[in-house]
């Protein structure tokens, strides 16, 4: 199958397949849209079963960044990169130096940062060979705490609309992927707000420590997190977790979390709606990190501006909920439609300029 025929291609502007035999680098750098400015989005290091899965992930994540950035009204486009994790032992420094060289080849059309499996330290290594990285120490730094704050505010909005709750005190929340950079920061905020938490993660020791710190309940069976009788399910791990195998196991009224691409396929949004479950579109609720990173691109995007943008994100989420309810349509369908329209308008303006 040609890349152009890939179901997730969605008219990506550019896709770079990069390899480096010496370091073991096999990376895909996907630029979805530069209609509003240079594409910006993180780099993910993950173990993929095959290159086809890596490509699918890169394309979906890249498109998601375009939608995220345009819904947050940021003057940037959307892109993403994935690195297929080498088998066995590998030289991490050499790997990210090679990634930096690949990134430099795009001449600023795409700027990268950390994502799942990648640290700010890895990005600092890549910076040895490229000018096009953000989210660095000495700049805005790790965007995870700001992502968590935005997701927390989005959960507050979702609880208001989906549960009729003005406070998270006593609200039962099941968090998947609780010990990651975003997940752990979010869990601490939720605990501070008085939520009753149920946590799962692959990192058992870290999970137990976080649960002890926050008074949460550990869900040891990873698959059992879907069946927790809670008010809100908060996915903070990988994507595609709302799918035909999991959707009927959910016993919640709201799905609102930090993970990207939570819906395996778009029709899962309609299936959630049929079951009376409110869905907070991931690329709206989790945009705090990219908002924080804007300070590395232009100095006027300072801490005060970031705080204002987070408030705007919450308002945008409530507006999307209202529109979906008024039109009787799935929330993700309404949000995708808005994002696509904004991108098309931006592309027309760019072409006319």
Q: For residue 317, report the phi and psi dihedrals to the nearest 5 degrees.
A: -60, -45
Q: How far is CA 104 from CA 18, 28, 76, 256, in A?
A: 11, 14, 18, 36
The residue to which tokens 């399910």 are assigned? 233
Question: In Å, what is the CA distance from 290 to each residue of 55, 78, 91, 144, 310?
Answer: 22, 10, 29, 9, 11
Contacts of residue 88, defined as CB under 8 A and 6 or more positions apart, other chains included, come to none
Long-range CB contacts (within 8 A, 24+) of 302-305:
none
Spacing of C-alpha 294 from chain mean position? 16
Cβ atoms of 104 and 129 closer than 8 Å: yes
Question: With DSSP H G I counted as helix, E B as strand and the rest as coil, what are the percentages for the chain, rounded to 5?
Answer: 45, 15, 35
Q: Return all residues near 315 (Cβ < 8 A) that are at least 6 apart.
A: none
CA–CA distance, 209 with 179 (Å, rounded to integer): 9
d(CA 223, CA 227): 8
The catalytic position among 26, 80, 309, 314 is 80
If one counts every other C-beta atom within 10 angstroms of the C-beta of residue 140, the result is 23
Integer Cα distance of 37 and 72 in angstroms:
14
Nearest-angstrom CA–CA distance, 304 and 270: 37
Q: How far apart are CA 290 and CA 52, in angstroms?
A: 27
Clarify whether 80 is annotated catalytic.
yes
Residue count of the chain, please give it.
353
Question: Which stretch of DSSP H or E encloses residue 137?
Answer: none
Residues with Cβ within 8 Å of residue 2, at least 6 apart in sequence: none
Active site residues: 80
């Amino acid at each position: 199958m040609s890349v152009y025929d890939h179901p997730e291609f969605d008219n990506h502007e550019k896709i770079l397949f990069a390899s480096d035999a010496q370091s073991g680098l096999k990376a895909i750098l996907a630029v979805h849209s530069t209609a509003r400015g240079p594409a910006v989005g993180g780099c993910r290091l993950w173990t993929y079963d095959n290159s086809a899965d890596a490509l699918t992930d890169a394309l979906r994540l890249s498109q998601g960044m375009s939608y995220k950035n345009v819904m947050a009204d940021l003057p940037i486009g959307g892109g993403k990169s994935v690195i297929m994790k080498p088998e066995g032992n590998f030289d991490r420094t050499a790997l990210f130096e090679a990634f930096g060289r690949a990134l430099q080849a795009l001449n600023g059309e795409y700027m990268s940062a950390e994502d799942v499996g990648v640290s700010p330290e890895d990005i600092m290594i890549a910076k040895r060979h490229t000018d096009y990285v953000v989210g660095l120490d000495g700049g805005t730094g790790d965007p995870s705490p700001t992502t968590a704050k935005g997701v927390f505010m989005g959960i507050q909005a979702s609880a208001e609309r989906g549960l009729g709750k003005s406070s998270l005190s006593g609200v039962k929340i099941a968090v998947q992927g609780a010990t990651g950079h975003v997940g752990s920061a979010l869990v601490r905020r939720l605990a501070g707000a008085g939520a009753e938490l149920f946590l799962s993660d692959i990192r058992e020791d870290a999970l137990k420590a976080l649960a002890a710190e926050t008074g949460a309940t550990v869900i040891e069976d990873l698959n059992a997190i879907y069946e927790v009788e809670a008010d809100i399910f908060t996915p903070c791990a990988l994507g595609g977790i709302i799918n035909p195998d999991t959707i009927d196991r959910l016993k919640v009224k709201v799905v609102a979390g930090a993970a990207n691409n939570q819906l395996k396929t778009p029709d899962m949004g309609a299936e959630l709606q049929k079951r009376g479950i409110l869905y907070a579109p991931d690329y709206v609720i989790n945009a705090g990190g990219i908002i924080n990173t804007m300070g590395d691109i232009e100095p006027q995007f300072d801490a005060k501006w970031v705080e204002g943008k987070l408030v705007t994100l919450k308002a945008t989420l409530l507006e999307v909920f209202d529109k979906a309810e008024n039109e009787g349509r799935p929330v993700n369908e309404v949000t995708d439609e808005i994002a696509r329209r904004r991108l098309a308008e931006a592309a027309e303006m760019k072409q006319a300029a």
